[in-house]
Amino acid sequence: MEQLLTANVASSMYWLGRYLQRLEGTLYEINKAYDLIIDVDRKAGTALYKKFNIDLKYVSAMDFLHKAIRGKHPANLGEMMLQARENAIISRAYIDSIAFGEIIALNNMFQTLQTKRSHIDCNDLDKALSLILIIWGAHAHRGHRRSSDYFFKLGKLVEEVDLRLRLGKEKAMTELILKEINAAIQILNPDLDIFENCPEEYIEEIPYSIVECIYATIDKLIIEE
C-alpha cells in the first residue's frame, strides 16, 4: 500500500464509514416507515425499531419522525452523527476536503434538528440523504488508491451487511457484499480471510453471527496495519 496508517486512524476511517452508512440506511428505512404509517400500517415504525432492539412509541406519523430522529434511544441520529464527526476529525488528513466539509455540515444539521422547535419533515430527511451522497461521491472520486480509503470502504460495507441482516433483506445481494468485504480485506492483508475461520453453517445460511466473524477479522487487520 502507499500509506502506513496508525491503528487509530485506520479505526477512525473504518468507523466513519460505518456511522455514515448507518445514518444513510436508517434514514431510508425511516422514510419508508413514515409512508407506511400514513397510508398502510400505523405500527410500521414500531416494527422497524424492534429490529434495532428499540421499543419506539409514537402517536402519529409526524411524531414518529420526531422520535426516530431525536428520541432518547441508541439509534438517535444526532448522536450517530456526532460519532461520525469525531472520527472524521481524527482522520482529517485522509479525507477529501469536500467530503470533510459536508460531514461537518451534516453534523450541524442534525445537531440543529435535536433542538428544532418546528416540525421535522421529509424535506429534512431528503436534505440529509443528499449530503451523504455528496460525501460518498466526493471521497470515491479519487478512487481507492490508499489504505485509508479501503478502511473507509470497509466500514460502509460492513454496516450495510449489518443492516441487511437485521432487516432480513434479500440474501443474494448480502452474499455479494460479503465477497466485496473479503476482497477489500485481502487487498490490505492477503493473509486474512473472513470465511477461513468462520463456521461453514454461518456462510451457508448467512445468519447474523457471520458479522462476528467479520468484526474479528477487521480487528486483526487494524491491529496488524
Residue 209 scores a pLDDT above 90: no
Quote the pLDDT of residue 1: 45
Alpha-carbon distance of 195 to 182, in angstroms, equals: 8
| pLDDT tier at 203, thresholds 50, 70, 90 | low
Tens of pLDDT along 79-120? 999 999 999 999 999 999 999 999 999 999 999 998 877 788
Q: Residues 7-24: pLDDT tens digits? A: 999 999 999 999 999 999
CB 138 within 8 A of CB 119: no
Q: Residue 202: its pLDDT value, please?
A: 67
Examine residue 153 and state whether it is found in any structural domain, yes or no. Answer: yes
Residue with cell 496508517: 5
> Does the residue 57 lie in any domain?
yes
- The pLDDT tens digits of the residues spanning 50-65 come to 999 999 999 999 999 9
Number of structural domains in the chain: 1
In which domain, by residue range, is 190 found? 7-224
Whole-number pLDDT of residue 155: 97
Is residue 205 over pLDDT 90?
no
pLDDT in tens, 151-162: 999 999 999 999
Of 25, 141, 41, 188, nearest in space to 217 by CA? 188
What mean pLDDT do residues 172-201 have? Answer: 89
Residue 143 has pLDDT above 80, yes or no: no
Which pTM does this prediction carry? 0.92
Neighbours of 118 (CB within 10 A): 6
Would 1 be classed as within a structural domain?
A: no
* Angle (deg, nearest 10), helices 61-70 and 7-39: 170
> What's the mean pLDDT in 122-143?
89
Residue 53: CB atoms within 10 Å: 10
